[in-house]
A and B are shown apart, each in its own frame.
Chain A
Amino acid sequence: MNSTVVRALLVRGMLAGLGAGTAALIFAYLVGEGPVDAAIAFESAGAHHEAGGEELVSRSVQSTAGLATGMLVFGVAVGGIAALAFCFALGRIGRFGPRATAALTALAAFLTVYLVPMLKYPASPPAVGNPDTIGDRTVLFFLMIALSVLLATLAVLLGRRLAPSWGNWNASVAAGGAFVAAVTLAMVVLPSGDNVPRGFPATDLWEFRLASIGIQAVLWTVFGLLLGYLAERVLEPRAAESRASALTA
């Protein structure tokens, strides 16, 4: 019985991820492709490694079908994982209904898996990043994500431990403060990953990174709202129905 509920939520999580990936794709196509093209133009002007070789996948395919593949597969995959986190969080993080739990799960994922790690190792356009250090940069990038998720989990456990004696507000503030302090320490200790070539336009770098933040913000916002809507219809069909009839009445 419960296993069917988990399966139903998982399927809806992946559907919500597909919808979120579609929204992110539209945003990325409209806002993100400009800075990518500008970076590639800078790279070709410098005419080093990749520019000379034969193109395996043309730019017009990369910026349409390629971009769509990446965004949609990413959306479905993180949607599935976030739905599992939602199943775990439901009823365990306080008195929140399905929609609030879905919104909080999406917010937590955006913050811990994307925003906090990107403060240390931000998204970089083509031409930024030395191909010789791709191994180190990949390890540090995933290490930062793992650390951020781990520290956030510890902070939530700390908050729950303190809540009975300190009250919900003070416990949440203390847990949030501990998370910020621990993440700051990790960022100070880990090596810097930046490798911007001389002469790369600062405006283009800023626009690229802003587009990257926007893509992830769109993805997780749409995901949280869609999953909440779909999950409520699975878990509390009567509440969902009465809300729908209040709208149409």
Chain B
Amino acid sequence: MAQSTAAPNPTPVTQAITPLPLRSVAPWAVFVGILMLVLLYFVGAEQGAVSALSGEGVHEWVHDARHLLGFPCH
């Protein structure tokens, strides 16, 4: 903090931002995107209309969040 006070007049960078190339976004979008969708499935839909696991445990555990976030619950 103390060192940066000596910095020259703060001029915000206003130049246009170069887009990130799609080739570098795509692999992350595929792998992490799918992983995140699986997480959303377990919070939002597992043991509702379809069940990957038997029983009601997941459904009952996230019950309140599922209702309040707007997912159809039961």
CB pair B39 A212 closer than 8 Å: no
For window 49-83 of A, CB contacts with B under 8 Å fall at 50, 56-57, 61-63, 65-67, 69-71, 73-74, 76-78, 80-81
Q: At the interface, yes or no: A221 with Cβ under 8 Å from chain B? A: no
Q: Decide if B11 is an interface residue (CB 8 Å cutoff).
A: yes
Residue of A nearest to B3 (CB): A245
From B11, B18, B64, B73, contact of A63 by CB (8 A): B64
Chain B CB within 10 A, most for which of A65, A90, A239, A242: A242
How many B residues touch the partner, as a band?
35 or more
Given A69-B62, A98-B17, A245-B4, does the pair A36, B67 have CB atoms closer than 8 Å? yes
1/0 per residue B28-55: CB within 8 Å of A? 1100110111011011110011100001
Interface residues of B in 1-20 (CB under 8 A from A): 1, 4-5, 7, 10-13, 16-20
Candidates A7, A63, A76, A216; contact of B39 at CB < 8 Å: A76
A249 to B50, CA, bound (A): 57
Note all chain B residues with C-beta closer than 8 A to A164.
none
CB distance from A120 to the nearest CB of B (A): 11
Q: Of the 9-residue stretches A125-133, A153-161, A170-178, A198-206, which lies at the interface with chain B?
A: A125-133
Assembly CA distance A5 to B7 (angstroms): 26
User: In the bound complex, do residue A121 and residue B65 qualify as a contact, i.e. CB atoms below 8 Å apart?
Assistant: no
A122 CB contacts on chain B under 8 angstroms = 70
For the complex formed, measure the closest distance between the CB of B59 and the CB atoms of chain A, giving whole angstroms: 9
- B residues contacting A by CB (< 8 A) are 1, 4-5, 7, 10-13, 16-22, 24-25, 27-29, 32-33, 35-37, 39-40, 42-45, 48-50, 55-57, 60-74
What are 14 sample pairs from A and B whose C-beta atoms fall under 8 A apart?
Answer: A2-B21, A2-B24, A32-B64, A57-B57, A66-B61, A66-B65, A73-B62, A74-B40, A77-B37, A124-B72, A126-B63, A141-B72, A239-B12, A248-B5
Q: Given A2-B24, A62-B64, 9 more contacts at CB 8 Å?
A: A36-B64, A62-B63, A70-B61, A74-B39, A91-B19, A126-B67, A131-B74, A141-B71, A245-B4
On A, residues with C-beta under 8 Å from B are 2-3, 5-7, 10, 28, 32-33, 36, 50, 56-57, 61-63, 65-67, 69-71, 73-74, 76-78, 80-81, 84, 87-88, 90-92, 95-98, 101, 114, 117-118, 121-126, 129, 131, 134-135, 137-139, 141, 193, 208, 211-212, 215-216, 235-236, 238-239, 241-246, 248-249
